Every structure is written in C-alpha cells, then in structure tokens.
Structure 1
Amino acid sequence: MFTASLGVFLFGLLAAIAGGAVGAAIGGNYAFVMTGFMVLASWGIFAATGNTFGFDYLAFGPFFGPYVAFAGGVAGAIYATYKGYMTDGKDVNSPLAGLGKPDVLFVGSLFGVFGYVVQIGIANLPWFGKHTDSVALTVLISGLMARWVFGNTKGRKLFSGSLHNPELFHEGATSFPAKIKPGPNGRWLEWQEKPSQLLTIGSLFGIFAASASLFLASNVGAHFAAQGLPSTLAAANASSFPFAISAIIILFLITNRNMPVQHHVTITAGLGAVHFYPILMGGTFDTFKWTATSTWDSHAWLMAFVALLIGAVFGIMAAAFAEFAARLWYNRGTSHIDPPAAAIWISNTIVVSLAALLS
C-alpha cells in the first residue's frame, strides 16, 4: 500500500513517526493489545465491505502495526534503561510517557520509522517477501537493533549491546541447548517453557485458531464470492482473527496474571489450516473456491478435521520456535527481543513455502 506513490510513502512515514512515539508513550504491550482491537475492528470493516484498508493501515500499518508501535515501545524501554530513567530494559508493560522524558518518545519515533522502512523493504523482496511475515520479521530486527545500539547499559556505550550474552551461558554445559537452558532468573514464561507445556499450548490453541480461521475463510469467502469478489480474500486474512484474540489476552498478562502468550501459535496454526485445506480438497490456495460450511459434505468436513490437526502441528512448531528464541536472546538479555515475532516469521515462511511446494 505505502509504495504506490511518493505521496503515499511520505504519508505513511509521517504516520510512523507518530505511531512509534505513541507505542513508546503507552508501552509496547499496551500498543500490541491495541493492535488486537484494531484487527477486530478491521475484520468488521472487511466482512462488510471486502476492503482491506483496516488491516493495511489501522492494524498492520503505521497506525498500530507492531513493527511501528510495539517496536517503538520496545526501543523506548531499552533507551530509557540506557539513560538511567528506568532499571529494566525488558519492561515493555510500563507506559513510558510517565517518565516525563520527551527523548524517550523521540526514540520510539525513530524506531517507528526504522520499522516502517524495513517492513516495506522485506515485503518487496523477490519471492521471500511473499513467503514470510514481514511484520514479525521487522519486529525481530528492530528488537535486535535496539539491543545492539543501547544494550550495554553498564558501560553506557552505544552500539555495543550483546545480542545473546554468551558470557552468561551455563558453566560446564557441553551442548548448545544445555548452555542456553533457562536459569533461575530472566526467564520469559516459566509456565510454558517445558516440552509438555509447549505441546499443550501449541496443539490446543492451534486447533482453536485453525477452526476459527477455517470458518471465516469459508463463510466470509462464500459471501464475497456471491458479491463478485475473490473468495480467497477472506482466507488470506483469516488467521489474523484468532491472532487478534491472542493479542488482547496480553492485556490480562499485563495485569500480572500468568496468562498464556500464544499469538505466535494462533496465527501460525490458522495460516496452516487455510493453506492446507485447499490442498486436502485437491486444489491450491490461489485457485480454491471457498464455500459456506452449510454446504459442506462429509468429505469436506473430514478434510477440515485433518486441517485442524495440521494446524495443531504447526502450532506446536511455533511454540517451540518461540521458546528457542527466548532462550537464545531474551532470558539472559538486557532488553526485550520478542520471542513470538521470531517464531512467527520463520513459521510463516515454513507454512507458506511448504503449502506452495505441495500445491
């Protein structure tokens, strides 16, 4: 959308300057919760009109796109720690406007612009841009950049942050997994880091998301087809709905409840279900004609059942990737490098590429 013309690009750029500052002002996680609400609002607009401007600008654009607003909040927090305004660079819950430091908000703006430009660049890469989640990858790159720039809080030196702090690997460990095993402090989510926990969260939330995504792809897709719009339009956005629910659940995590963090699971599982269901039905994602669930026969329901199982498998995969990213970057680090973002971009790439290969 924001590469259509120079004017459109500059409009988005100015919006990103403000969006990054807003994300820093209200705090990264609050900004991400707002992304969830924006997705739900966008779904209402989309289902009624078939227009994706809500997704393109409000939810995943410079208004509350995670690569602008959430990333601005993350960068603002580590900069505030670097400057000594706060003590925890991982604190993406606190609204940074409360510090009363305009420079913190300006850093949010700077990283909002960084995210805006990087996301456009990734999205326009040949092949890769259409086979990955450019939003999630940009969030990861932004977090890594913020740590590299402001991460050395002890020495107060720019551009010297350690990305995964190997000096804090477990002493005496011989294998890499043992070196990055969670220790007593700094763990991401201690209630969902064990294999049994990852399997449970990944599979069940995966099925939860896959079922919602399939229903939306089918019923809204059939509605669009009746209006002369492409029936695949709904499928292309279906996984964002359970993702939005998962994003809003973060609001309860902020209130100091041990809520499950699983937006990486739900968006991956939903994506997997809507990409593999057409293959199971003998078609391809790009050419499949989605029909309302009320018209499905026994075979269609059986293939939908299999698609839910596929969603569960991909959900487990995403949960495992997020925990690995937490152990690699987050647990011993000085700032928030988002494990779900790391999981989403690589999981998306695997799902979309594998579906394309099998089509």
Structure 2
Amino acid sequence: MTLTVSEFVGAAAGGALGAALGALAGFALMGTIVIGVTLIAVALPNTDLVTGLAFGPVFGPHVLFAAGAAAAAYAAHRRALESGRDIAKPLIGLHDTRILWVGALFGVLGQLLARVFAEIPPLHTSTGAEVSTVDAIALSVVVTGLASGLLWGRNPLAERLPWLPWQHSAGAVLTLGAAGGAIAGSVFLAWPQDSRAMSGLFLYGVSALSLLVLVFGAAAPVTHHIVLPAAIGARAAASWNVPSSVVLLVAVVSGIAASLVAEAWARLVLERSRVHLDPPAAAIAIMSTVLAVVQVVGS
C-alpha cells in the first residue's frame, strides 16, 4: 500500500469542505460527481475517474460526508450547534475555523482507513474471479463515525430520537427496500452489459443527490444504502447465468435486507447517540460482505 502526500492533502481539503458545506450538502455534491463519472465510464471504460474522483480523497463519502458529520459532532460539543446529529447545517456559518480543521483531520483519517481496509484480501469464486470482501469506503465512514462518538458523544440521549421518522415504520422500511431493490434490478438489467458494475454506483449517485431535499428541511426517502447493495446482488445473481426474473428477485431481496439492516443499526446504535452514526454506511458495509460471501458460495 503506497500512501502519497497529495492524497492526504486532498483529503484534508475535502474534509474541510465537507465541514463547511455540511455533511448532507457535501454528500449531494458527491452524488452529482458520481452520476457524471459513471456515465463517462460507460463511454470510456478505461477511465479511472470513478475511483480517483468520485470516490477519491477529496469528494469520496469517506472524506466529504464523514468529515462533515464528525465536524458537526465537534461543533455540538463546543455548543456551537444544537445537536451533533444535525448533518444538514452548513458549518461555515458558525464562524469557527476549528470546526473546519476537525473536518480536515477526519478527512485524512477517513482516507487512511479506506486505504487500509482496501488491503483486506478479496474472496475468489470457483472460476477464479475476485470479489471484494468489504466496501472499504463504507467501512471507513462507519469507523470515523464511531470515533467521533467516542470523542464527543459518549453520554447517550435520555430519550430515543428516530433516524428518519417518515421511514421508521416496518411498512415504510419494507416498501422502500422492495421498491429500491426493484429499481436497482431493473436499471441493472437495462444497463449496457459490459459496464453493468456502474449501474449501482449511478443509482447511488442519484440517491445521494436527492438528499439535497433534506438540507432544505423537507422529507425525502433515503435509498442509497438500498440501491447499491441491490445492484450488487443483481450482479452476483447475473454471474450465475440465471434468468432475468431471478436477477430481479435477488435485487429486491437484497434491497429489503439492506433496508432492514440500516433500520436495525438506527434503532440499536444511532437513536440514543449524540452524534451521527450513519445507518446507510453500516448497511452498505455489512451487505457488501454478506453478498460477497453469497456470490462466492453460489458460484
């Protein structure tokens, strides 16, 4: 693993930007970049813009989003922000450069962790194809969130605070999981076959961009943790040479499972936390490993 000075300088700058914009606005910005580079990757398959730019050391969610969330936790600890769970507020308006420096430090930490987790050896299918064991970026977001919790959120809330009240009931969790899985499976099947790996990332970017609605205080479905695992599940099923109906079914089941995992994390870990411990990142990290094992076992 080669670590360069330039990527950590970029991560520090990206982390400060995430703090200044606020985690959600930063995530939406990343979404626009992901949409663009995945479409470019369809036309130019050899481009490295997906890993180098969209999920790189400046705009990747493990930097831009995770650092913004950590900076919000610090700002609440300093009593400059009412709640460390408020990841929608741009923190530049708090007039405290220390908050931006915390973002920079967590940007570097996020990039370092992502690079370390990326070194975990892959699994191999019966045909010898490599399957990533973990989603290093999602796992990095989870760990940096837990680190901010240890630093600034050790005292739990007296009352539970739901993650997304409009997406909290069993019916909403299951419905959005099924709908997101169906969308991901349908888009995967419609995507050009030689670049289907990009379909899930494209939908991830679309879902991320849609969260800009939350910045303005309106409710919006949070689905990026549903569509990405669902597309991964569809890709795994497609590698088994099964009919399209089975691919679509696996995508729906994967979407429902991811939605349930995120809500379980929210209820067990986040609801009494003073800082944002991201349920979507946890769901993506867990589901990526589970689906990798499923793909290898089914090969």
TM-score range, shorter chain: over 0.9
Q: Is contact 1:214-1:270 (8 Å) kept?
A: no
Pairs within 5 Å for 1:47-196: 47-127=42-122, 130-151=132-153, 161-162=154-155, 165=156, 168=158, 186-196=161-171
Q: Residue type of the partner of 2:111?
A: Y
Tell me the secondary structure at the aligned position of residue 239 of structure 1. helix
C-alpha deviation, 1:236, in angstroms: 3.0
Pair member with larger Rg: 1
Q: Are 2:233 and 1:272 equivalent residues in the alignment? A: yes
Tell me which of 243, 251, 258 is aligned to 1:311.
251
Q: Are 2:279 and 1:339 equivalent residues in the alignment? A: yes
Q: Is contact 1:72-1:108 (8 Å) kept?
A: yes
Q: Is contact 2:185-2:248 (8 Å) kept?
A: yes
Q: Is contact 2:152-2:275 (8 Å) kept?
A: no
Give the Cα separation in 2 of the matches to 1:217 and 1:73.
35
Q: Residue type of the partner of 1:256?
A: G
Tell me the secondary structure at the aligned position of residue 280 of structure 1. coil
Q: Are 2:163 and 1:202 equivalent residues in the alignment? A: no
**1:282-312, CA deviations, whole angstroms, 9 ceiling, x for partnerless residues?**
xxxxxxxxxxxxxxxxxxxxx1122111101
Q: Is contact 1:272-1:311 (8 Å) kept?
A: yes
C-alpha deviation, 1:259, in angstroms: 1.1
Name the Cα RMSD after superposition: 1.6
Structure 2 equivalent of residue 214 of structure 1:
189
**1:249-273, CA deviations, whole angstroms, 9 ceiling, x for partnerless residues?**
1011222222111110000111111
C-alpha deviation, 1:209, in angstroms: 1.2
Q: Percent identity?
A: 36
Give the Cα separation in 1 of the matches to 2:116 and 2:17.
23
Give the Cα separation in 1 of the matches to 2:58 and 2:40.
16
Structure 2 equivalent of residue 11 of structure 1:
6
Give the Cα separation in 1 of the matches to 2:54 and 2:17.
14
C-alpha deviation, 1:44, in angstroms: 2.8
Tell me the secondary structure at the aligned position of residue 64 of structure 1. coil
- Could you say if the C-alpha distance between residues 52 and 132 of structure 1 is closer, same or farther in structure 2, counting changes exceeding 3 Å? farther
Give the Cα separation in 2 of the matches to 1:186 and 1:121.
33
Q: Is contact 1:211-1:270 (8 Å) kept?
A: no
Pairs within 5 Å for 1:284-323: 303-323=243-263
C-alpha deviation, 1:204, in angstroms: 1.0
C-alpha deviation, 1:143, in angstroms: 0.5
Q: Are 2:237 and 1:243 equivalent residues in the alignment? A: no
Structure 1 equivalent of residue 128 of structure 2:
none
Q: Is contact 1:269-1:311 (8 Å) kept?
A: yes
Structure 1 equivalent of residue 127 of structure 2:
none
C-alpha deviation, 1:192, in angstroms: 1.7
Q: Is contact 1:213-1:241 (8 Å) kept?
A: no
Structure 2 equivalent of residue 41 of structure 1:
36
Q: How many residues align?
A: 292
TM-score for the superposition, normalised by structure 1:
0.78
Tell me the secondary structure at the aligned position of residue 296 of structure 2. helix
Structure 1 equivalent of residue 126 of structure 2:
none
Tell me the secondary structure at the aligned position of residue 87 of structure 2. coil
Q: Is contact 1:26-1:97 (8 Å) kept?
A: yes
Give the Cα separation in 2 of the matches to 1:97 and 1:123.
32
Which of the pair has the greater relative contact order for Cα pairs under 8 Å at 6+ separation? 2
C-alpha deviation, 1:217, in angstroms: 4.7
Q: Are 2:295 and 1:351 equivalent residues in the alignment? A: no
C-alpha deviation, 1:52, in angstroms: 3.7
Unaligned runs of 5+ in 1: 152-160, 169-182, 222-233, 282-302
Give the Cα separation in 1 of the matches to 2:47 and 2:197.
11
Give the Cα separation in 2 of the matches to 1:240 and 1:323.
22
C-alpha deviation, 1:205, in angstroms: 1.2
Segments of 4+ moved more than 4 angstroms: none
Give the Cα separation in 2 of the matches to 1:268 and 1:250.
18
